[in-house]
Amino acid sequence: QVQLAESGGGLVRSGGSLTLSCTISGRTRSPYVMAWFRQPPAKDRAFVAAINWSGLNTYYTDSVKGRFTISRDNAKNTVYLQMNALKPEDTAVYYCAASFAVGPPSTRTTYNYWGRGTQVTVSS
């Protein structure tokens, strides 16, 4: 059974930084792609960033380009999301997702494994 565990969320002031981590366990084959999505209060879950397991390809939603960086450590089966210059509108529950099949990296239905989420709150 594949399990994803996120960590690193918290409360930070506007302009601050946080690093989220997501560790995957329970399967020997590496996911084709891993991603971060986020769900602000009373809104739908939306794509933030994705990375294929080779690390050669990364994808970002426009609102985080230049501020967020997704990376991975295959030896640790972990994906990271470095978030800089945080804004109050970045406040959300952040979810890690994994896919073992090919699909559009920014589409929710590409991913069949999800973590439970970690709260990120950015105060103004």
Q: How confident is the model at residue 67 (pLDDT cuts 50, 70, 90)?
A: very high
In this predicted structure, which of 79-88, 100-109, 115-124 has the lowest mean pLDDT? 100-109
Closest CA to 98 of 27, 23, 29, 31: 31
Query: With pLDDT > 90 as the criterion, what percentage of the chain qualifies?
Result: 81
